Amino acid sequence: MAIADAQSPDKFPTIDQCESSGRENHTVVADLDGTLLIGSSSFPYFALVAFEAGGILRLLFLLLVSPIAAILYYFISEAAGIRVLIFATFAGMKVSDIESVARAVLPKFYTSDLHPETWRVFSSCGKRCVLTANPRIMVEASLKDYLGADMVFGTEISIWRGRATGLVNGPGVLVGRNKAEALQKAFDAAPAPEIGFGDRKTDFLFMKLCKESYVVPKKRKVQPVSHDQLPKPIVFHDGRLVQKPSPLMALLTILWIPVGFPLACLRVAAGALLPMPLVYYAFRALGVRVNIKGIPPPPAQKSTGQTGVLFVCSHRTLLDPIFLSTALGRPIPAVTYSLSRLSEIIAPIKTVRLNRDRIKDAKMIKNLLEEGDLAICPEGTTCREPFLLRFSALFAELTDHLVPVAMNNRMSMFHGTTARGWKGLDPFYFFMNPSPVYEVTFLNKLPQELTCGAGKSSHDVANYIQRMIASTLSYECTSFTRKDKYTALAGNDGTVSDKPAIAAKNILGC
């Protein structure tokens, strides 16, 4: 394949004219930003790495130098602007942290911005290749694991002793001729790719190496591909930021944190120090909305020998039992799988850790139910997406007084959960949202004929309650477990390690 000179985009047909049927044996080569993705700016993804792996100060530094990068990009060269972004984001950062963010955080954002026309053809081809000026270490996990890319060619960053230097290895930033040469080298001994996609002049060189070339128009407004069209659903993802950080959103986040953290402390104090019947009104006054649906059961009457009700909750954040208690107007003890010491200290309700020993845990839960009502989240860990993880069946064996509770929440700026960071800050991040919302839906108490006491197996009861809650929330049931989540996102079993010494770092990052 010989590299030809770039030609006018007017000579390339647009992507909507590309036929997608019969492409099973074809190879497609696509640029990333503005082509496979709708957005043409890579700043939001650099900003995600900067914040999630480096903290708020790194994000601030990136935001301050981004105007310089933009000037270089538009008036000098695309490569010069990308070099500045790479240096501001990666200089001094651990490679393991970059890889962790690339694996656990970025896929959610990349897959939420897929161009429908490009994806229509890209997904229909048997072999898929992506060329991008972005660092390969940043994009490869998302493209291969979730979009089915077979080959990913990107800019290679310089590494020294496990840390990124902020510089770029040869042949430099992968744009223009470098991009074409990378493609030529990859297919030198193979037939030329059938299809090439790009959106800018610097893509035209590699597009000319393909048998068919199509340009993705920049001015057309399109809706991103829905998640149900992806080859692999995003069930687990990590990171603190809810929205993709455009320059404006990044600036608002930086400006909000000095206000949001004291506000979060005030909200936490209100929930921890006030009598539970007043917490609902205190939260409302402080901008935290609690929406209650359904009719909760009355408290157990110890005088009649009645045992407590076991509230079986879906698990969205570690605050689920707190908001359950807020909705009921009385403190409900909760059993927990793994909780930081700080969260236990500031909790306004009694929390009891499970031992992960089936006999000991069963005895402990029975004793707690004899004292009164109790809350449990049988998923064992949180899930952000509209999925329910597998319900552990132990709870169904211990009592027939089961009340399913569908928990849901809405956050606009920060996620109140983490798999990679320090969990002690989870409640603070939730309450740092300007106006967080919690929805507590009480479902009907499980009929006696559907309990273990009536002969049902504990797994049948657990699965039935899982389906009830999923139907109420319009979620999907899965068989994923706590171990699956932490293996995918953090490479561990999810055991909490208390690290108060790094609290300052975590409040600035993940």
pLDDT interval class at 492 (50, 70, 90): low
- Give how far Cα 13 sits from Cα of 22, 214, 215, Å: 19, 5, 6
DSSP string across 418-462: -SSS-GGGHHHHHHTSSS-EEEEEEPPPPPGGGSGGGT--HHHHH
Residue 505 has pLDDT above 70, yes or no: no
Compute the average pLDDT of residues 84-93: 96
The pLDDT, as a whole number, for residue 357 is: 79
Using alpha carbons only, how large is the chain's radius of gyration in Å?
A: 26
The pLDDT, as a whole number, for residue 494 is: 58
Q: What is the pLDDT of residues 389-413, one digit of tens each?
A: 999 999 999 999 999 999 999 999 9
Intra-chain end-to-end CA distance of the chain, in Å: 46
374: CB partners within 8 A, 6+ apart:
308, 309, 310, 311, 332, 333, 334, 335, 365, 368
For residue 476, give the H/E element and its range: strand 476-477
Angle, helix 56-75 to helix 78-90, in steps of 10 degrees: 170
Beta bridge partners of 334: 351, 375
Residue 508 has pLDDT above 60, yes or no: no
Residue 101 has pLDDT above 90, yes or no: yes
The full set of domains in the chain, from first to last, is 9-220 (3.40.50.1000), 247-508 (no CATH)
Averaged pLDDT of the chain: 90
The pLDDT, as a whole number, for residue 388 is: 96
**373, 332 Cβ separation under 8 angstroms:** yes
Beta bridge partners of 293: 441
Strands (E) in 73-175, as ranges, are 127-135, 151-155, 157-160, 163-168
Q: Which of residues 345 and 207 earns the better pLDDT score?
A: 207
Residue 510 has pLDDT above 50, yes or no: no
Compute the average pLDDT of residues 330-334: 94
The pLDDT, as a whole number, for residue 5 is: 52
Residues 312, 451: Cα–Cα separation, whole Å: 13
The pLDDT, as a whole number, for residue 341 is: 80
**404, 467 Cβ separation under 8 angstroms:** no
pLDDT interval class at 4 (50, 70, 90): low
Cα 441 from chain centre = 24
Q: What is the pLDDT of residues 265-298, one digit of tens each?
A: 999 999 999 999 999 999 999 999 999 999 988 8
Q: What is the pLDDT of residues 213-241, one digit of tens each?
A: 999 998 778 899 998 888 888 999 999 99
Residues 443, 473: Cα–Cα separation, whole Å: 11
Residues 208, 7: Cα–Cα separation, whole Å: 9
Residue 47 has pLDDT above 60, yes or no: yes
Helices first, then strands: H and E counts in the chain: 19, 16
Strands (E) in 136-259, as ranges, are 151-155, 157-160, 163-168, 195-198, 212-215
**280, 292 Cβ separation under 8 angstroms:** no
